[in-house]
Each structure stands twice: as structure tokens, then as C-alpha cells.
Amino acid sequence: MSENVAYELADSDTEVDTQQTPSAEAVLAYLRTHPDLFLEHPEILDHIELPGPPQPVVSLHHWQLRRWRGQALRHRHALDQLHQVAADNAEADRLLHRFCEGLLNTTDRSPATLETQIQADFEIDTCRVVPLADLDGDTRKLLAGWLDNPTPFCGRPHDTVRESLFGDALPQTGSVALIAVPTPVAGPTRHIIALGRRLPDGFNPAQGTHFLEQIGELAGAFLEQAASDNDRH
């Protein structure tokens, strides 16, 4: 959409709003014929600015009401944020539940199957499940410090790491989440889940990693079961 078209749409919207907005005289006439309006709809008062006393006179009562109103607005904003967090958590639980079902319903417990399941259930552009032993020496050196304390990494990786994990599937401007897949019994990491998004801030250091850790734990149990099956055969 060009800037001219955007401006035309904005101007059009403004004209419609102006035509639909009642005049001050119409509002006053309505209030005179509906004196109980504020009693029936007290929430309207939350959006009305009342004039204060003339300067330099300060009304303690008026000042106190303004403070209470500001506090109420901040509390409402905090509640809205909590509601959004709750909705985001509910959506994350739903996605994780679907991911669990997919893992339980498959008989092929291979890294390739895990990649396909992750790609199907989560909003990412590319996914790799890589055995740590398959990485070259330079990449393993760059990841060594992170693997010592394998909290999921989110952000822009070193170019060597990006190319080793994704090849040409992720541009240099992309962002990644790296999950060191834990083993059910305490031991060294054997796989890395590499999630990629083409957006530079698709994964960023400021985001939480609890959800990614849960994905890693489920993936670890999934791959460990496959390893146990192979050992029995």
C-alpha cells in the first residue's frame, strides 16, 4: 500500500467519524431529557475530565480524586496485562498438549520425526534436531560455554553456528532458539534442537525460556525411548 493510498484511507475514516459525531447541542439536549444517564451508566464518568478550581487555589478533594483515578487506571492496565499473560499461557499449554499427543501417537521416534512434529505444531520457519557428535569442532567450541549451563539460547547466533545448524535455510538476519536436549538420566547433552525464524526479533534474549525448556524435556524423553528401543534390538 502506497503512502498516498494510506493517507486517503485515513482521510476517509476521519470524514466518516466527523459525520457520525453528534454536536455539543445534541449531547446537551440528550442529557436534559435523560437526567439518570450517569446513574445508569456510571462507567462513563471514568472518561470525563472535570475542571479543577482556578489557579493558584488547590482543592485537596479534587487533587485526591485525581490521584485515585490515576491509581484506578494503572490497576486496570495491570489487570489487562495479567489477562493477556493468562491468555498467552493458556495458548502455550494448548500447543504443548498438542505436541505431546503428536509425540505419543508416532511409532517412528527419530530426530527427523521430531523435527517434523515441531515444525507442524509451532510457528517457526525452520527446525533442526542435530546430534552433538555431528557438529564440527569450531561449532562445538562456540557452543561449549552455553552447553555447560544449557538454558535455552534466544537471539542472533554466531555465523559459524548458524551455518552449521541451518545451512542456507536461515538468513544471516534471522534469529534462533537453541535447546540442549536433556537426557532423562543425568548425563551429557546428546542432541540440540535448533529453531529458526527469519525475523531478527523472532527469538530475542528478553523472552522467557520456560516453554522452550518444556519442549526440550519432552524431546529428550522421546529420543531416549528411541535409543532404548535400538539398544534392545
Q: Please name the fold of domain 86-232.
A: Beta-Lactamase (3.30.450)
Domain ranges in the chain are: 86-232
Q: Out of 148-157, 176-185, 194-203, which region has the weakest mean confidence (pLDDT)?
A: 176-185
pLDDT of residue 10: 38
Task: Tell me how crowded residue 37 is: count the other CB atoms within 10 A of its CB.
Answer: 12
pLDDT of residue 57: 65
pLDDT digits 0-9 by tens, 59-90:
777 778 778 888 888 999 999 999 998 998 89
pLDDT at 3 over 60: no
Looking up cell 495458548, which residue turns up?
A: 91
- Taking a C-beta distance cutoff of 8 angstroms, is the pair 183, 131 a contact? no
- Taking a C-beta distance cutoff of 8 angstroms, is the pair 127, 114 a contact? no
